[in-house]
A and B are shown apart, each in its own frame.
Chain A
Amino acid sequence: MNDKIKLARRIAWAAGAFSLIVAVLLIANFLQTKLNDPIDNKTIPELVKRLSENPSDEALKQEIRAFDLMARKAYFTSQWQIRTGGYLLLLGVIITLLAVRYERSAKSKLDAVDILKDESALDKVLAQKWIAALGVFIFLAAIVSGILSYNAIDRYLVVENAPAVSEAGTTASSGENALDNMDQPSSGQLAAGDTVTANVVTETPSSSSLAEAVAENAATKTFATMAEMKANYPFFRGPEGIGIAYQKNIPTDWNGTSGENILWKVKVPKPGYSSPIIWGNKLFVTGADASARVVYCYDKNTGKLIWEASADQIEGSPPSKMPKVTADTGLAAPTMATDGYSVFAIFATGDVLALDMNGKRTWAKNLGVPDNHYGHASSLVVYKDKLLIQYDTNKGGKVMALSTASGDKIWETVRGSKISWASPALVNTGTRTELVLATNPTVASYDPETGKELWSMNCLSGEVGPSVAYSNGMFYAANEYAKLAAIKPGSAPSIVWSEDEYLPEVASPLAVNSLVFVATTYGVLACYDAQTGEKYWEQEWGDPFYASPVYADGNVYLADQSGKMHIVKASKTFELVAEPTIGEKVVCSPAFGDGRLYLRGTNQLYCIGTK
Chain B
Amino acid sequence: MNRKLVNVFLVLLAVAIIAIILFDFLRNKAGDRSENRFEYNIDELRHVDSTLIIYRQVGQFPVNAEKLSGIAVSGDEIVVIADHLVLKYDKTGSEKFRGQINFDPTALAPDSNGELWVASRDQVFLFDAQGNLLKRSNSFGDHAVITSLAVSGERIYVADAGNRIVYQCDKQGNIVARIGEKNPGKGVSGFVIPSPYFDIAIDDSGFLWAANTGRHTFDNFNADGSLRTSWGKTSIKIDGFSGCCNPAHFCILSDNSFVTSEKGLIRIKLYDQHGQFKGVVAPPDQFGKQDTEAPDVAVDSDERIWALDFVKKQVRIFEKK
Contact = CB atoms under 8 A, between A and B. Distances in A.
Given A462-B92, A462-B93, A481-B91, A39 B37 contact: yes
A114 interface: yes
Nearest to B61: A463
Contacts of B27: none
B141 interface: no
Contacts of B37: 39-40
Given A39-B37, A324-B312, A394-B62, A114 B3 contact: yes
Contacts of A394: 62
Interface in A53-80: none
B20 interface: no
A373 B92 contact: no
Given A39-B37, A394-B62, A463-B61, A373 B314 contact: yes
Interface string A308-335: 0000000000000000101000000000
A286 interface: no
A480 B93 CA distance: 11
A427 B82 CA distance: 44
B58 A521 contact: yes
Nearest to B313: A373
A29 interface: no
A462 B62 contact: no
Contact of B92 (A39, A114, A374, A461): A461
Size bracket of the B interface: 10 to 19
A480 B90 CA distance: 13
Interface residues of A, number: 17
Contacts of B94: 440, 461-462
Given A40-B37, A373-B62, A480 B312 contact: no
Contacts, number: 29
Which of B37, B92, B93 has the largest count of A CB atoms less than 10 A from its CB?
B92
Nearest to A440: B94
Interface string B77-119: 0000000000000011110000000000000000000000000
Interface string A449-480: 00000000000011100000000000000001
A463 B312 CA distance: 17
Interface in A374-395: 374, 394
A481 B92 contact: yes
Contacts of B38: 39
Contacts of B58: 521
A380 B91 CA distance: 31
Interface in A465-501: 480-482
Interface in B29-59: 37-38, 58-59
Nearest to A418: B94
Nearest to B62: A373
A251 to B, nearest CB: 32
24 contacts: A39-B37, A39-B38, A40-B37, A114-B3, A324-B312, A326-B60, A373-B62, A373-B314, A374-B60, A394-B62, A440-B94, A461-B94, A462-B92, A462-B93, A462-B94, A463-B61, A463-B93, A480-B59, A480-B92, A481-B92, A481-B93, A482-B92, A505-B59, A521-B58
Interface of B: 3, 37-38, 58-62, 91-94, 312, 314
Given A373-B314, A462-B94, A480-B92, 20 more contacts: A39-B37, A39-B38, A40-B37, A326-B60, A373-B60, A373-B62, A373-B312, A374-B60, A394-B62, A440-B94, A461-B94, A462-B92, A462-B93, A463-B93, A480-B59, A481-B91, A481-B92, A481-B93, A482-B92, A505-B59
